[in-house]
Amino acid sequence: MPIHNLGYRPWKEKLTRPSSRWRNISASGVRLAQKSLWVKRAVFAAWLPVLYWGLGFFVIGQAMEGKLQLNDGGNRPVVQKAFDAVEKQLKKVNPMLVPTANRLAVASILRRQFRKVPKVEQLASALESGDEMLARNRIWCWLLMTFLRYPQGILILFLIGTIAPALIARDIRSKAFLLYFSRPIGKLDYLLGKFFIPATFIMLVTTLPAMALYMFGILMSPDLSVFWSTWDVPVRILIGSAFLILPTVSLALMFSSLTQETRFASFGWFAFFTLGHGAWWAIVFSTAIKKGMVNSQDLPMVMEEPEVKRWGLLSLYNNIGEAQSWVFGFSSWQEVMPSMIVLLAITVVSLSITYRQISSPLRV
């Protein structure tokens, strides 16, 4: 009987593509991060604003449905009757949401209730214009822009602060570099792999819910032709998410690569965000003082002043907001170019420093 050789046998089949290496690093990092109860809670909580925004999609969408004539005697169209029923239900939830189905009234409500939100004037104008396709596109873009900017933009501050600081710092401390780089894994593979760990979670709480909102908007529309006036929205969501992910994750990874202790990486992340945004707020107030506009009604207008916007470059949060405003078509390229340059600089410098850090020789 032949004796089988059960010793070491080299792999003779095909190896997977090189891209599988960074994907494996990401996948294992994501699996590790999602074991945390806090991360699970944060991801769950990130979907709660979807309900509120979904309502906004529904309500404003209904306002678009030719509800120009009200109280026409007893001869209301069927849609109007249906909308009245919905309006009655929604009034119980929040009367301010649906006081009227008239687009003009909705526009004025937007101006009044959301005056602090950037670009609301453009939105209200689009609504008043009577061009339904334009108005729908603008409304959806505006809703998604505010969704990405406000609840999710603040949530990712904490999400990245939870996940990212340990990614490279822990590898430096435990000398896990040796485990990675004694295999055919390049530094770029390592960097990409680590990059996509927080990026995955950010996409889970921004891109995915935003796409879900878009789909919800399509489903709540009268017919599929709505897609043709809003086909660009998913593309904008993807690009807007990219503007959210690239500079934030790069920065967080840079801080993680600069230290062995995760607390310093966390501190760097929070400090960068806080000091920049705090400085901007200080400028906002000083300009408001100068113009005698120190009250909560006028502050949003002060924020749009050119000198304030110049200082807004200090705030990473504002820069991302400007970029997203351009992505969703509410600002021109000239207006947002300085912010884009800042974001590009942050991304390039952060990634360069991170790459340099992981290329440094290690003492065992």
Partner 1 sequence: MIHWLRGAQATFVFELRRALTWNRFLVAVGLAIFPPVMLNVVVRTAFVSNSRIAADVSQYSEFAMIFLVALVCILSLLLWATPNVQSELEGKTWNFIAVRPGARVASYLGKYFLAVAISMSVSCTALAGCILVANSYQGLENPLKTLGSLAAIYTMACVVYAAIFSAIGTVFIKRAMVVAAGFVIGVESFLSLVPAVVSKVTMSYHLRSIGLEWIGYFLPYTTELEYNMTFGKPWPVWMHIMCIAIMTIVSLTVGMIVITQRQYVTSDQT
Q: Which residues bind partner 1 (CB under 8 A)?
A: 36, 38, 158, 161-162, 173, 261-264, 266-267, 270-271, 274-275, 278-279, 281-283, 285-290, 292, 294-296, 307, 311
At its nearest, how many Å lie between partner 1 and the CB of residue 38?
A: 5
Q: How far is the CB of 247 from partner 1 (least distance, A)?
A: 20
Q: Give DSSP secondary structure letters for 30-89.
A: HHHHTTSHHHHHHHHHHTHHHHHHHHHHHHHHHHTTTTT----TT---HHHHHHHHHHHH
- We find the least distance from the C-beta atom of residue 299 to partner 1, in angstroms, to be 9
- Give 299's DSSP letter: H
Tally Cβ neighbours within 10 Å of residue 120: 20
Nearest of 324, 348, 346, 349 to residue 336 by alpha carbon: 324
Of the pair 82, 275, the CB lying nearest partner 1 is at 275
Q: For 157-191, b where at least 16 C-beta lie within 10 A, e where not — what string? A: bebbbbbbbbbbbebbeeeebeebbeeebeeebbb
232 vs 307 by CB, closer to partner 1:
307
* For partner 1, the closer CB: 57 or 273: 273
DSSP code at position 4:
P
Nearer to partner 1, 62 or 266 (CB): 266
What is the closest distance, in whole angstroms, from the C-beta atom of residue 177 to partner 1 in the complex?
17
CA dihedral 342→345→350→351, nearest 10 degrees, is 130
Question: Which CA distances in Å does 120 have to 20, 137, 192, 294, 297?
Answer: 44, 14, 37, 21, 14
Cβ proximity to partner 1: between 37 and 224 the closer is 37
Considering the complex, state which of residue 162 and residue 200 has its C-beta at the smaller distance from partner 1.
162
Nearer to partner 1, 38 or 44 (CB): 38
Written in H, E and C, the secondary structure of 144-205 is HHHHHHCHHHHHHHHHHHHHCHHHHHHHHHHCCHHHHHCCCCCHHHHHHHHHHHHHHHHHHH
Q: How far is the CB of 258 from partner 1 (least distance, A)?
A: 9
Query: In whole angstroms, how close is the CB of 263 to partner 1 at the nearest point?
Result: 4
Structure tokens at 150: 């406000």
CB of 4 to partner 1, least distance (A): 39
The distance of closest approach from Cβ of residue 259 to partner 1 in the complex, given in angstroms and rounded to an integer, is 9
C-alpha distances in Å from residue 292, one per residue of 133, 284, 287, 308, 356: 40, 12, 8, 15, 49
Q: Give residue for tokens 């435990």.
A: 174
Residues 257, 262, 267, 269: is their CA dihedral positive or negative? Answer: positive
Nearest distance from C-beta of residue 287 to partner 1, angstroms: 6
Residue among 172 and 226 whose Cβ is closer to partner 1? 172
Containing 343, the helix (H) or strand (E) segment is: helix 333-359
CB closer to partner 1, 29 vs 61: 29
